């Protein structure tokens, strides 16, 4: 629709033809949303399917839709629009997680526990301080996605197959209609750039790394030997033969799925590493990896929000744990130093 409006504005097609194509495209969209359209592999991809339906409905006028564009710049635009939407959704889940970790931290500001280095008891901290550490990580994750979204906010429409088009199109106009900051500046790069997907997937991998670290601690701290926290039954399972068991399955699955998202990132990096300019068919391999990474991260974030929200903090056990391991030794050393003894 944005492309058709651009063609009509620059009088490459008539105003009447432009209005008819746009009206029919809107009708096709409504038919798709009602589940009335069956796509066919005969026409290779989604773009050709929609063009075929358009031509079936309005005849030769529909063939004017493809003037001055290629499936290369079409798919590049589609992926950027899709990625922009998905980044916003993931950011909304991150905001929820920041909120629940912060709330749990504020609630336990004076719940004391041992802090660890090398998984050895080190110094006393509060459970609130511990939770705020993860809030900070998730804030950085949010900002990382924000930066990626800003860098990719340019429209490749008008790059055509690789060398632009001889038609006097207005790329600023179509970029604005599509909600981009502006058009991409180089047509070769416009159709063959997948950096933005790699950058988002890198951000998603870091999110999963943070969730995995958190999961590891949830698994350890909810174990019998620690008993610092207790997971809700909703995020745990029993054993098939051991009736006393309460397994932290949700945390374990999130930890496991981290490797899957890393794999998606590495798959796309490996696909892109030897591709010459401009577009090559290898690039369609970006879809499956990106879709999988996005779906996995959204699922894990949703689970994590619920898991943290229902987490029970055992403050008495935490306080008791502070009695072992000489965790105030540093404070004693500092006290003696202030009294005149060398550190």
The residue from 234, 239, 240, 342 that is catalytic is 239
Q: 3-class SS at 339?
A: coil
Average pLDDT over residues 237-243: 90
Quote the percentage of the chain above a pLDDT of 90. Answer: 98
Average pLDDT over residues 320-327: 96
Average pLDDT over residues 246-271: 97
φ/ψ of residue 152, rounded to 5: -95, 5
Q: What are the structural domains, with CATH classification, of the chain?
A: 1-67 (1.10.275.10), 70-337 (1.20.200.10)
Listing DSSP states for 236-300 in one string gives -B--SS-TT--B-HHHHHHHHHHHHHHHHHHHHHHHHTTPPSS--GGGGGHHHHHHHHHHHHHHH
The residue from 40, 118, 126, 129 that is catalytic is 118
Distance, in Å, from the CA atom of 232 to the CA atom of 250, rounded to the nearest integer, reads 10
pLDDT band at 330 (very low <50, low <70, confident <90, very high): very high
Tens-place pLDDT, residues 183-217: 999 999 999 999 999 999 999 999 999 999 999 99
Judge contact between 102 and 131, C-beta under 8 A: yes
pLDDT of 240 reads 87
Distance, in Å, from the CA atom of 316 to the CA atom of 311, rounded to the nearest integer, reads 15
Judge contact between 130 and 214, C-beta under 8 A: no
Distance, in Å, from the CA atom of 68 to the CA atom of 164, rounded to the nearest integer, reads 8
pLDDT at 69 over 90: yes
pLDDT of 44 reads 86
Exposed, middle or buried: residue 222 (CB in 10 Å: 0-12, 13-18, 19+)?
Answer: buried
pLDDT band at 239 (very low <50, low <70, confident <90, very high): confident
239 labelled catalytic: yes
Tens-place pLDDT, residues 81-107: 999 999 999 999 999 999 999 999 999
Tens-place pLDDT, residues 150-195: 999 999 999 999 999 999 999 999 999 999 999 999 999 999 999 9
Q: Please report, for residues 17, 22, 44, 315, 321, the alpha-carbon distance to residue 228 in angstroms, rounded to integers and kept in the order given.
A: 69, 61, 56, 7, 9
Q: 3-class SS at 164?
A: coil
Q: If you average pLDDT over every residue of the chain, what do you get?
A: 97
Average pLDDT over residues 293-321: 98
pTM for the whole structure:
0.95
Residue found by looking up tokens 């909703």 in the block = 234
């Amino acid at each position: 629709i944005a492309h058709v409006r651009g063609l009509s504005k620059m009088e490459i097609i008539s105003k009447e033809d432009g209005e008819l194509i746009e009206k029919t495209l809107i009708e096709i969209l409504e038919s798709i949303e009602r589940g009335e359209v069956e796509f066919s592999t005969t026409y290779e991809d989604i773009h050709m399917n929609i063009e075929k339906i358009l031509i079936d409905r309005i005849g030769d006028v529909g063939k004017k839709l493809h003037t001055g564009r290629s499936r290369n710049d079409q798919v590049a635009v589609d992926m950027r629009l899709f990625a922009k939407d998905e980044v916003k959704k993931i950011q909304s889940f991150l905001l929820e997680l920041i909120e629940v970790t912060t709330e749990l931290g504020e609630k336990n500001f004076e719940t004391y526990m041992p802090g660890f280095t090398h998984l050895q008891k080190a110094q006393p901290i509060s459970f609130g301080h511990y939770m705020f550490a993860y809030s900070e990580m998730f804030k950085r994750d949010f900002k990382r996605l924000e930066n990626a979204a800003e860098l990719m906010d340019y429209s490749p429409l008008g790059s055509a197959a690789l060398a632009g088009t001889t038609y006097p199109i207005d790329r600023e106009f179509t970029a604005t209609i599509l909600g981009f900051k502006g058009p991409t500046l180089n047509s070769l790069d416009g159709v063959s750039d997948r950096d933005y997907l790699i950058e988002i997937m890198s951000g998603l991998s870091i999110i999963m790394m943070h969730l995995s670290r958190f999961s590891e601690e949830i698994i350890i701290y909810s174990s019998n030997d620690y008993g610092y926290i207790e997971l809700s039954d909703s995020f745990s399972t029993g054993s098939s033969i051991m009736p006393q068991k309460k397994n932290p399955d949700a945390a374990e699955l999130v930890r496991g799925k981290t490797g899957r998202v890393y794999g998606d990132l590495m798959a796309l990096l490996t696909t892109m590493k030897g591709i010459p300019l401009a577009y090559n068919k290898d690039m369609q391999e970006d879809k499956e990896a990106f879709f999988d990474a996005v779906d996995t991260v959204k699922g894990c974030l949703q689970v994590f929000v619920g898991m943290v929200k229902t987490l029970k903090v055992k403050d008495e056990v935490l306080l008791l744990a502070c009695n072992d391991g000489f965790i105030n030794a540093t404070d004693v050393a500092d006290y003696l130093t202030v009294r005149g003894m060398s550190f």
